[in-house]
Every structure is written in C-alpha cells, then in structure tokens.
Structure 1
C-alpha cells in the first residue's frame, strides 16, 4: 500500500485550474442509510438510499482577472451548477491518480478576513448529479 502526502492536489473549477491557489480541497460523498428493519430481525438492517456530496475547499484569494475571485464570483452570480474535477496529484489521470468529476452548485460567495491574515475563500458547495471516478488518461 502506497501512502500519499498531499503536496500538489489538482483542483479544476468551472474549467479554471485553481490548484496553485488551493490550500485544502476535500470532496465528500455519502448515501442515505434507510432503515429496512422488519419484524423478526434482531439487528437493524439498512439499505443505501440517495447519494449526495460536498466540495469543501480553501483558496488563497486573488482578484486578478480570470483568477480566484473572478472565477468564483462568475459561477455564483450565474446561479447554475458548474463542473469541478479533483485529483490527488496534479499530473495525468491514471489508476493510481484518479480524477473525481462532479457538478457543484456555487450557492455562496465570500470576501474578506481578519487584519494581518491572508485573504482566503472558504468554499462549501453541494454536489448536484452523479460523481464520476475517472482513471482513463
């Protein structure tokens, strides 16, 4: 088993590579656990239900055209889902470097922070639609 230190994660947001501004990127998927316990069962039974996910990312803010703020604002302002892709390493997709692709709904935007700190954006967006795990370069 290979152990990986996340040093160069890939983060594509609405066709813009924001990897060089990203300090943290976590894509989470889960499924509802539906209680399917019936009479005669002595243990709870569960059946998988609807799946959902969340993208949580922290980025160093950048107000240059086409960079972090402009990209996130445009997606938020359009009020529609956008495509994201995340890979453990910022290199070619492979069996050992899968790319997770999903659409997210940018339903919040922020700007600002504390005096004396780096300007950052903290994203937390719900996924919409199916998530794909791609291992084909």
Structure 2
C-alpha cells in the first residue's frame, strides 16, 4: 500500500511562493447534493450533484518583519487572487499534481495566540470559480 509523508508541500498565493511560512495547507472541494427523489424512486432517495465549491485552509507561521508574510497578506485582504497547491514542491507530474484556481482573501489575523504559543495564523479562503487539477 503506497504511503506518503508531507515534507515539502507547495503553496502559492497571488504568484508568490509562501511555502516557507506554511505549516499546514488543506484544499477541500465539494458538490451540493440535490434531492430528486420522487414516487418512482421506490422508497430510495435519489441525489444529483449541484454547484461545486472549495475552500483553502492554511496555517502560517507569522512574521511581521518588512517583506514577510504579514506585509504580503495585508494588502490582499478583500481581493480574489490565484492559488496553486501541491503535495510536494517537486516538479508537477502524474505523481505530483497541482491544484489551481482563485480564492477570496476574506480574512487575515495579524495577531493570534496565547502566552507561550508560537506566532501562527490560521485562515480559510473560499474558492472563486473552478478548481483545476493538472499534471503538466
């Protein structure tokens, strides 16, 4: 059975490689379920897929120094930007597909945490438009 350990996930927002700040990245896509059950369904529920949507969840290690993650993300607040994620920062291919699309930067948390915690930022961005999987 194949196994994989995430050691070098790749994350880019707005064309900027943010992998060095990224501790966790999750891309989830889903489709609405639409109930089309009728009397001819013989007592079984019937479903069709509706609208698709996605969400990009990220945990960054915070850095507020000039040109670092806080200064990169702050100006993007409220904008729709392109993203790319891969399981590895290696070359895109059949064993390392890339997922691309656009996300709405709907939040940023300049300060988050408790006494003694590392400075990290957890955010979640909804996709806007299609999410595409590619191997080239």
What is the TM-score with the length of structure 1 in the denominator?
Answer: 0.93
**Superposition RMSD in Å:** 1.1
Out of 93-102 and 61-70, give the one that drifted further. Answer: 61-70
- 2: CA distance, partners of 1:65 / 1:85: 24
Q: Pairwise mapping of residues 22-33 of structure 1 onto structure 2 (< 5 A)? A: 22-33=22-33
> Any stretches of 5+ residues in structure 1 without a counterpart?
none
- 2: CA distance, partners of 1:2 / 1:47: 32
| Moved >2 Å (runs of 4+) | 64-67
Superposed CA deviations along residues 106-126 of structure 1, whole A, max 9, x for unmatched, are: 111112221221111111011
Task: Provide the residue aligned with 1:106 in structure 2.
Answer: 105
- 1: CA distance, partners of 2:2 / 2:76: 36
> Any stretches of 5+ residues in structure 2 without a counterpart?
none
- 2: CA distance, partners of 1:27 / 1:106: 15
Give aligned pairs, total.
134
Task: Provide the residue aligned with 1:7 in structure 2.
Answer: 7
- 1: CA distance, partners of 2:132 / 2:26: 15
What is the TM-score with the length of structure 2 in the denominator?
Answer: 0.94
User: What is the SS of the residue equivalent to 1:128?
Assistant: coil
- 1: CA distance, partners of 2:102 / 2:80: 6
Superposed CA deviations along residues 8-36 of structure 1, whole A, max 9, x for unmatched, are: 10011111111111111000000000001
